[in-house]
Structure 1
Amino acid sequence: MKAKGLKKPSTRKSKVNYRTTTQLRSDRFLAEIKNATRVTFVSHINPDPDSIGSMVGLAHLVKSVLGKKIRLTRDGLINRSENRAMVDLLGLELVPMDGIEWHEGDVAVMVDSQPKTGRHSNENGLPLVAVIDHHDTPGNVRGIPFVDVRKSMGATCSVVAEYLREQNVEVSFKVATAMMYGMETELMGFPRHASSADEEALLWLFPKADKDLLAEIRNARLPQSHFEGVVQALQSSFIYDRLIISWVHDLPQPELAAEVVDFLIRFEEVDWAVCAGLFENKLILSARASGANAKAGELLKKVVGRMGRAGGHDRRAGGAILMKSISFNAVEQAMVKLRKRLLKALHIDECRGQRLISRKEMLENLQS
């Protein structure tokens, strides 16, 4: 897929006027990087639309206001079809982190993540001067000159939109579409409540975004492996009171676990949905909660403990466990431990799981 006639970004001043007695956050951010030769934007492993959109928006801000050289990166892979479509259709160039070289005058800005959270493949030697995020999973930000973590906001793109408006920087359809889709994936559907700042950002971006491109990204074509993974997840879903746990032995991409729980949490008999699956040598976890104030991120972090890393938001969370062995016994032991911890954390009595789809129904479907 190729970018469709991308226009040169416009820096026409918008009519938004911010008056404040204190220095704007965006002023402080720009002041921190004004002496840099080049600004590199980094995010978490396997970047999602919010992290990609945030990098695009901040890069546009830095180029428009300071005229700096910029570099956007990706840590790990971009596997989910919609995310690949976003990158391809918008013509975004993301440099792999394992190919990055740092030179004098380079600085790094981390978006949609925080240092020392276990969500990066390698943070060593990162010339980090700023962290901009919205997650309530705390990292170690000591010593970093500029930190803006807005736990009250539903998306990091919302923070970036505020910066752009504060600096009266207009955005092209390319930037607006990237940020709009990033916000959409975080806020739409049933993830978490949007703040007034999120709503203002959406209203500002919507008229500027390319609606046709947004539709193409949302409806990206899916490979056969996606449907095979979904079938396996449904056939391996077990109900424990108000919790449903699903298993995919070989995830075609890590993001499938999140797609599975987004679907399963709609099951009328459960309040919690968890999907686990293997991707390479990692056990990938994703969780969703239907109720408000569920603190899913805190719960999954407690459940995973020292086995790996986890975190997230009020109603959704994710994590990963690096497996020393992916043998049947090693994976089974890890899953049993996680299941017991989940039941205990949710105050559910130990019980035998009931299949979402019975073996009889599976066999009948195969024979029909």
Structure 2
Amino acid sequence: MSHSQQLYELLGDGSEINIVCHNNPDPDCLASALALGRIAADAGIDERSILYSGQISHQQNRAFVNLLDIDLQPFEAATVQNRQSDSLLAFVDHSIPGTNNTVPTDTDVDIVIDHHPAEDIDARFVDHRDELGAAATILTEYVRTLDIDLDTDLATALLIAIRSDTLDFLRGATTEEYAAAGHLHEHADPEMIRQLSNPSVSGGTLDAISTAIDNRRTDGAVLISHVGRTTERDALPQAVDYLVRLEGVQTAIVFGLVSEAIHISARSPDPRVHVGNVLHEAFDDVGSGGGHHDVAGGEIPLGIFADYTSDDAQVLDIIEQIITERLVAELNLSETTED
């Protein structure tokens, strides 16, 4: 029995489904959740919810939710802890309770569909393909195989998700991404794709990227920078995507203080560096970090510094020193030198 058939059979036993996105969901997670909801509806589930934690702050993500009118609800632990036996819990674009989500770690999960590197995934149904460039590629396969109605909004969402997670097929794209995109293209809305591909950029995001440029430090082909404190969490991946294009740079890592946590974003087209492993090894004892060999992220709770507000500049200096030292040690760099 194929993955799609196994999933459909499991959905047929449920009365409701809660589809949990990872923290601060991106287009790949949102489109995958939307597609799974459509498949669940076709299987006869009337009660369907898409839940998330964190913020939807990236300008593309906000436009994605607004233009496609995706019904999102804040995640609450009670929703999954007190559910009935025929109430299904699904993860898309992530896989482990408590890792990049606020789901209690002892929660039983029914469905996991993911493409990020992970170990010890435990669920009744698991489709984990870390060789793929997007979770939306898997959901597109399901939609095709199960002959689910592919309306314009769903096709547009899945196509944008694949393009976004692969940087328009320049990062981690496989033949499966190209095949999925080819199928979706004829059903998608070109004008909506244009709007979603070119959203406006906030002043805060631009300021954070500017700060990352000013604070960059390089050692050979490695660049490390920070944005200081910012309210624009999604400025970090945008900054690192920009800085990794700097001539001579093969690995770029940008971190910053957002609310009460340190966020980290990394990129590395260098086949000698696995940035997912770098962030995991450097910060697993104080937070979380991981991802693919070329794309990764991490989050570290601010901990003892969370209530220290009398001298924000000093806190930022301490954070910069500690995070940079850990990265330098894990990357086996001699020292970082400012450009």
TM-score higher than 0.5? yes
- Shift in Å at residue 234 of structure 1? 1.5
User: Deviation of residue 336 (structure 1)?
Assistant: 2.3
Provide the TM-score with structure 1 as the length reference.
0.84
Specify the alignment match of 2:191 in structure 1: 212
Q: Distance in 2 between matches of 1:63 and 1:177?
A: 19
Q: Secondary structure at 1:300's aligned position in 2?
A: helix
Contact 1:106 1:127 in 2 (8 A): no
C-alpha deviation, 1:229, in angstroms: 1.5
Bigger Cα Rg: 1
Listed one character per residue, the Cα deviations across residues 102-135 of structure 1 (whole Å, up to 9, x for unaligned) are 5423211111001146211233675521111000
Q: Verify the 8 A CA contact 1:134 1:153 in the aligned structure 2.
A: yes
Q: Would the alpha carbon gap of residues 293 and 70 (structure 1) be closer, same or farther in structure 2, given more than 3 Å must change?
A: farther
Q: How does 1:256-275 map to 2 (within 5 A)?
A: 256-275=235-254
User: 1:128 is matched with which residue: 109, 114, 118?
Assistant: 109
Give 1:191 deviation, angstroms: 5.8
Name structure 2 gaps, 5 residues minimum.
none
Superposition deviation, residue 343 in structure 1: 2.4
- Find the partner of 1:250 among 216, 219, 229: 229
Alignment partners' CA distance in 2, 1:272 and 1:54: 29
Distance 2:261 2:297 in 1: 13
- In the other structure, the counterpart of 2:302 is 323
Are the equivalent residues in 2 in contact too, given 1:191–1:315 (CA < 8 A)?
no
Deviating more after overlay: 273-282 vs 321-330: 321-330
Which residue of structure 2 aligns with residue 237 of structure 1? 216
Indicate the larger mover: 43-52 or 238-247.
238-247
TM-score by length of 2: 0.91
Between the two proteins, the alignment pairs up a number of residues equal to: 330
In the TM superposition, what is the alpha-carbon distance from 1:223 to its structure 2 partner? 2.0
SS in 2 for 1:70: strand
User: Which deviates more, 309-318 or 66-75?
Assistant: 66-75
After superposition, the CA RMSD in angstroms is 2.0
Match of residue 121, structure 2, among 132, 141, 145: 141
Q: Structure 1: which 4+ aligned runs deviate by more than 4 Å?
A: 124-127, 326-331
Alignment CA distance shift 1:65-1:91 (3 Å): same
1:49 matches 2:49: no
- In structure 2, the residue corresponding to 1:228 is in which secondary structure? helix
User: Which residue of 56, 67, 72 corresponds with 1:94?
Assistant: 72
Unaligned runs of 5+ in 1: 1-22, 356-368
Q: Any conservation in 2 of the 1:297–1:316 contact (CA below 8 Å)? A: yes
The residue aligned with 2:179 is: 200
Deviations 1:259-317 (A, max 9, x none): 00000000012111111100001000001112236322112111223121011112111
* Aligned AA (2:330): A
Shift of 1:92: 0.8
In the alignment, the residues of structure 1 paired with residue 117 and residue 49 of structure 2 have an alpha-carbon distance, to the nearest angstrom, of: 27
Identity over aligned pairs, percent: 23
Matched to 1:277, the amino acid is G
Deviation at 1:37, TM superposition (A): 0.9
Contact 2:228 2:257 in 1 (8 A): yes
Q: In structure 2, the residue corresponding to 1:128 is in which secondary structure? A: coil
Residue by residue over 1:118-167, the C-alpha shift from the partner in whole angstroms, topping out at 9 and shown as x without a partner, is 211233675521111000133x423x211110011110000111111111
Output the CA distance in 2 between the equivalents of 1:314 and 1:141: 19
